[in-house]
Amino acid sequence: MPLHYVSLFIGQLHLEFDQVDSTNKKAFELLKSGDLPDGTCLSAQFQTDGKGQIGRYWHSKFSENLLTSLLLKPHFLAFDEHYFLSICSALSIRKLLSRYIFNKNIYIKWPNDIYVENNKICGILIQNQLSTKKIKQSVVGIGLNVNQYDFPQQLPNPTSIYLESSKNIPTDQVLNQLFDDFEYYYLQLRNGRLNELKSEYLEHLYRRNVLSRYRDGNKRLFEGTILGIDSQGKLHMDVEGESRFFDFREIETIL
Ligand code: BTN
């Protein structure tokens, strides 16, 4: 019988809302009025002001997808290791998706978008609360497209579990599986298995070792090959025989 890991602390406290501005914002608001346990989950059916990366809006129709924030206290991580939270979040969502989507590649697009082939199925926004050179708490915001099948035209390449598998899955079932998969990877991190996490991440990195086109922070187009990440989590590329390292916002993929 296959072993099934069931979470012990991720999602044990689950605060559910019909509508909020943003689950990440709500998590920080609640933290102002009191402490919440490690692993607390906030979820909503709809966000009026969903936050994406680089100040973008995160779109999601009412009740069709997962809109979730997990509150974590990764006190065991050194400050310069905090990008491992991103690695661990991306790996857990990739694992979760592999339970529903078969015969298609599920990639992690650096640093933590999840793609099915060339389409984005999930975005992650991690916001940290710092206290003198330490991460006090982190809010890992996850927008995972589950049952939505039509998206606004302006979104470049959205997809969902339904579009990739023709299966309609109750969002609470996906969320419960997320708790289990997230906790598995988070415990790997807590147990210091950084090398193992990094190599699993690299195994699934989108366009790794594939010559592709990119745009840099000065809007210049160039061709390069992703080799991996460096010890600070920056993207390591080969560009015409030279190693270059990019921070988030310094590089954009041409789809
Ligand atoms: C991205 O731009 O790729 C990141 C998107 C993150 C969206 C999620 S939805 C739940 C949580 N609350 C937010 O306001 N944003 C994150």
pLDDT interval class at 5 (50, 70, 90) = confident
Strand partners, 129: 137
Q: Which domains does the chain have, with CATH numbers?
A: 14-203 (3.30.930.10), 211-253 (2.30.30)
The confidence score (pLDDT) of residue 123 equals 98
The confidence score (pLDDT) of residue 6 equals 79
Range with lowest mean pLDDT among 54-58, 162-166, 209-213 = 54-58
Q: In this predicted model, what pLDDT tens digit does every residue of 61-107 receive, in sequence order?
A: 999 999 999 999 999 998 889 999 999 999 999 999 999 999 999 99
Query: Rg of the chain over CA atoms, in angstroms?
Result: 18
pLDDT interval class at 2 (50, 70, 90) = low
The confidence score (pLDDT) of residue 53 equals 93
Give helix 171-190 / helix 194-203 axis angle, nearest 10°.
130
Degrees to nearest 5, angle at CA 229 with 227 and 232: 155
Q: In this predicted model, what pLDDT tens digit does every residue of 6-42 receive, in sequence order?
A: 788 999 999 999 999 999 999 999 999 999 999 999 9
pLDDT interval class at 206 (50, 70, 90) = very high
What's the 242 CA to ligand 1 centre distance in angstroms? 34
- C-alpha neighbours within 13 Å on the C-beta side of residue 177: 18
Q: Of all helices (H) and strands (E), which one includes residue 84? A: helix 83-98
Over residues 146-167, the mean pLDDT reads 97
In the chain the beta strands, taken as DSSP E runs, fall at 14-20, 41-47, 66-72, 106-109, 113-116, 119-131, 134-144, 211-216, 221-229, 235-239, 242-246, 251-253
C-beta of 52 in contact with ligand 1 (< 6 A): yes
Over residues 178-205, the mean pLDDT reads 97
pLDDT interval class at 171 (50, 70, 90) = very high
C-beta of 58 in contact with ligand 1 (< 6 A): yes
pLDDT greater than 90 at residue 1: no
Q: What residue owns the CA closest to ligand 1's atom 7?
A: 143
Largest CA distance in the chain: 54
Q: In this predicted model, what pLDDT tens digit does every residue of 209-250 receive, in sequence order?
A: 999 999 998 999 999 999 999 999 999 999 999 999 999 889
Cα separation of 64 and 62, whole Å?
Answer: 6
Stronger pLDDT, 107 or 129, i.e. the higher one = 107
The type of residue at 122 is C
The confidence score (pLDDT) of residue 131 equals 80
Work out which ligand 1 atom sits closest to the CA atom of 68: 10
Q: What is the percentage of the chain residues whose pLDDT exceeds 70?
A: 98
C-beta of 51 in contact with ligand 1 (< 6 A): yes
Work out which ligand 1 atom sits closest to the CA atom of 113: 3
C-beta of 157 in contact with ligand 1 (< 6 A): no
Q: How many contiguous H segments (helices) and E segments (strands) does the chain have? A: 5, 12
Q: What residue owns the CA closest to ligand 1's atom 3?
A: 123
Stronger pLDDT, 244 or 3, i.e. the higher one = 244
The confidence score (pLDDT) of residue 79 equals 86
pLDDT greater than 60 at residue 172: yes
Strand partners, 128: 138
